[in-house]
Structure 1
Amino acid sequence: MAAPARRLCHIAFHVPAGQPLARDLHRLFGFQPLAVREAGGWRQLALRSGDAVFLVNEGTGPQEPLYSLDPHHSVPSATNLCFDVEDVDGAARALAARGCFMPVPPTRVRDAQGTATYTVVSSPAGNLSLTLLQRAGYRGSLLPGFRPLPCTPGPGWVSHVDHLTLACTSGSSPTLMRWFHDCLGFHHLPLSPGEDPELGLEVAAGSGRGGLRLTALQTPPNSTVPTLVLAESLPGLNSEQDQVEQFLTRHGGPGLQHVGLYTPNIIDASEGMAKAGCRLLTPPEAYYQQPGKEEQILAAGHKPSLLEKQGILLDGEKDEFLLQVFTKSLFAEDTFFLELIQRQGATGFGQNNIRALWQSVQEEAARAQGA
């Protein structure tokens, strides 16, 4: 591996001036402003909940924003993943030897709180770039060049990033998996026993409507990097687009489709976000009427009526359960969204929940077309 990632520092977005992403992250999802930088035509605002940090790059400037890269993308987008590495200079040399393109070479930034060095690497995943960051000993709230903002306690709905899901073109997962393995040290994480890493996990949507191919990747146990999930469409019998294909069309190519945010209490978090005005996806009506679903929810220690009221999905068995709820898109283009996830011993992603999400997104799209 060329540059083993040790932890996820932040997820960066690029949005036009006046786009409400930063406001929505604060008001609807409980993220608190952490630090800001305003220079060169850019307003860069970092918001945090627990260990999850989002950096919103708003506007446009003649130069690249610090710690990121302006992709000049046609729609608002999650454009950059910033990872902590041990040695940026060594990582850059190793990546260059592998043929990787680094539009921002190793760059040192200093302020009164210390020094950080970073480089930006282009990835094969659409408009997504990767920032490799070295900031050992930096004493500031975020990074050199940023002004700290008053620390205000948030509701604590989110503790950290659980996983990152990339929407990929059909057949590209093996190539992406090898790139993330060779360059950042990710390894295949089986989602089902005996899973072939070249094939991933296939989740059929039913009724000839295709489905999803999911390939999960993780870094070694001594890191704190979230699981990376590659999602691509399986061919169906009809010609209508599924949500991965719709993302590719509306987003203008592959990219970060959603971020899974871990919550220690999904019931409190989803209720609080809904009261704040967050729009959550509604599962199919038949989801909670499935044979054995009520017993499964009770076995996990929850009330079926409460989960149904809040649209929370539950999957698992014995002492391993997974609870999930999904937001509608944060952008008018109907692309990127967030997921809340709570794990009660489960380590996977719940095949039945994946199918239910698939169906709920398809039904939401059908309702929107009929409106």
Structure 2
Amino acid sequence: MSTLDNTSLNLPKENLEAEDFLPLLGTDYIELYVGNAKQAAHYYMTAWGFQPLAYAGLETGLKDRVSYVLQQNKIKLVLTSPLNSGGEINKHIDAHGDGVKAIALWVDDASKSYAETTKRGAESYLEPKTVKDEGGEVVLSGIHTYGETVHVFVERKNYKGVFMPGYRAWNPYYKPTDVGLKFVDHIVGNVGWNEMNKWCEFYAKVMGFAQLVSFDDKDISTEYTALMSKVMSNGNGRIKFPINEPADGRKKSQIEEYIDFYNGSGVQHMALATDNIIETVTALRERGIEFLTVPSSYYEDVLDRVGEIDEDLEPLSELGILIDRDEEGYLLQIFTKPILDRPTMFIEIIQRKGAKSFGKGNFKALFEAIEREQESRGTL
């Protein structure tokens, strides 16, 4: 495979303010540390339509952990559990519950990515190393970010194997059909009080990102709670990281609830894109996924706000899918309830019909729905 960059890939530079000195080609995988990877894999296959791809564990020579790799179109999840007591993975799960440990980024040169970010102040997580098998070689490196979350840079241009060296193909009989999820649209991080600007500056200085949009407590507030958010993006727009922090409100916000139960900063949600949100959400509901709901009154004047859309309003209303518009077009989005026992991580399903924004017009309805869930948990 030839060297890849924005020019050879013909990737437009969507965020003109971004320096884009790495550059980043896309999200390679998202790794979650979980208490039981075998059962978690069954959940993401059965409920979310992910397909089995690769496996690493005792049978491949690992003694301390096991990992199942799942894929749906361009989305890869790695589910990792410890095989022994003690150790880093156990500590992570004890502190945070199941959660995202690594956001792996596909790059053309993992050694250069490491050098560029660490010389700008990033703390090293993984010095560049090359792993090999009969499929070729993969170069990995990594840096620390907010909380215990890390970025792993993955260079795989000289690899033809199933996932990466150390893994073998996983081909069980059980393979539920997918639900139409296509790629990672964005990944949202929650950080503590007054830490949003610090981490936005980190992405700007260390990784060459630029701010795409910002929301303050006037944009994201209800009668009771508020939060602040800024969206950082790389140059080609393939990697977008909104960063949230709490803001003063009368009651405890969803960000405060998250930080309390996650014991610090971490990934709040993954936004997964689909080309047909009605079909995707219908399939997910049939498989047991629970979504936040908004009052039926939301749909009484939504078309007055967003204008004409291609979809019929009735199925959107029935499913609870939200609609918003910006200068580029409109989007459709919906959010699950927390998918873990702790009220921490959830998943957003999004379909963009030209829109580049993040649903600002839906914030009030969405956060009131979250507050209703918080109230039921006694954490508002």
The TM-score range, normalised by the shorter chain, is 0.7 to 0.9
Alignment of 1:1-371 (within 5 A): 3-17=22-36, 20-38=39-57, 39-61=62-84, 71=92, 74=95, 75-123=97-145, 125-150=146-171, 154-190=177-213, 202-207=218-223, 209-221=224-236, 225-236=238-249, 238=250, 240-289=251-300, 292-295=301-304, 299-316=308-325, 320-369=329-378
Secondary structure in 1 matching 2:252: coil
Per-residue CA shift, 1:199-253, capped at 9, x if unaligned? Answer: 768524232x2422121111112xx6331101122211x2x21111100111011
Equivalent-residue separation in structure 2 for 1:189 and 1:297 (angstroms): 21
Conservation of the 8 A alpha-carbon contact between 2:37 and 2:67: no
Opposite residue 27 of structure 1, the aligned amino acid is T
In the TM superposition, what is the alpha-carbon distance from 1:117 to its structure 2 partner? Answer: 1.3
Q: Which moved more, 1:24-33 or 1:153-162?
A: 153-162
Equivalent-residue separation in structure 1 for 2:160 and 2:48 (angstroms): 27
Give TM-score scaled by structure 1 length: 0.87
| Runs of 4+ off more than 4 Å | 60-65, 68-73, 199-202, 294-298
Opposite residue 46 of structure 1, the aligned amino acid is V
Instruction: Label 1:334 to 1:7 Cα distance change in 2 as closer, same or farther (>3 A).
Output: same
Opposite residue 174 of structure 1, the aligned amino acid is N
Q: Percent of pairs identical after alignment?
A: 22
Conservation of the 8 A alpha-carbon contact between 1:49 and 1:154: no
Opposite residue 219 of structure 1, the aligned amino acid is N
Equivalent-residue separation in structure 1 for 2:292 and 2:156 (angstroms): 38
**Residue 196 of structure 1 aligns with which residue?**
none
Structure 1 unaligned spans of 5+: 192-198
**Residue 195 of structure 1 aligns with which residue?**
none
Structure 2 unaligned spans of 5+: 1-18
Conservation of the 8 A alpha-carbon contact between 2:293 and 2:320: yes
Give TM-score scaled by structure 2 length: 0.85
**Residue 16 of structure 2 aligns with which residue?**
none
Q: Please, what is the CA RMSD of the aligned residues?
A: 2.7
Conservation of the 8 A alpha-carbon contact between 2:44 and 2:50: yes
In the TM superposition, what is the alpha-carbon distance from 1:170 to its structure 2 partner? Answer: 2.3
**Residue 4 of structure 2 aligns with which residue?**
none
Equivalent-residue separation in structure 2 for 1:279 and 1:354 (angstroms): 19
Per-residue CA shift, 1:249-282, capped at 9, x if unaligned? Answer: 1101111000000010000000000001111111
Equivalent-residue separation in structure 2 for 1:200 and 1:6 (angstroms): 30
Opposite residue 213 of structure 1, the aligned amino acid is M
Conservation of the 8 A alpha-carbon contact between 2:75 and 2:182: yes
Per-residue CA shift, 1:298-350, capped at 9, x if unaligned? Answer: 82133333212111111126872111111111210111010000111111012
In the TM superposition, what is the alpha-carbon distance from 1:294 to its structure 2 partner? Answer: 4.6
Equivalent-residue separation in structure 2 for 1:272 and 1:298 (angstroms): 27
Equivalent-residue separation in structure 2 for 1:363 and 1:339 (angstroms): 18
Per-residue CA shift, 1:29-76, capped at 9, x if unaligned? Answer: 1111111111223121111111011111122458989xx998465111
Opposite residue 53 of structure 1, the aligned amino acid is K
Opposite residue 253 of structure 2, the aligned amino acid is D
Equivalent-residue separation in structure 1 for 2:363 and 2:222 (angstroms): 12
Opposite residue 177 of structure 1, the aligned amino acid is C
Per-residue CA shift, 1:84-111, capped at 9, x if unaligned? Answer: 2232223333333334322322221111
Q: Which moved more, 1:263-272 or 1:83-92?
A: 83-92
Equivalent-residue separation in structure 2 for 1:145 and 1:11 (angstroms): 17
Opposite residue 303 of structure 1, the aligned amino acid is D
Conservation of the 8 A alpha-carbon contact between 2:179 and 2:283: no
Instruction: Label 1:55 to 1:88 Cα distance change in 2 as closer, same or farther (>3 A).
Output: same
Opposite residue 202 of structure 2, the aligned amino acid is W
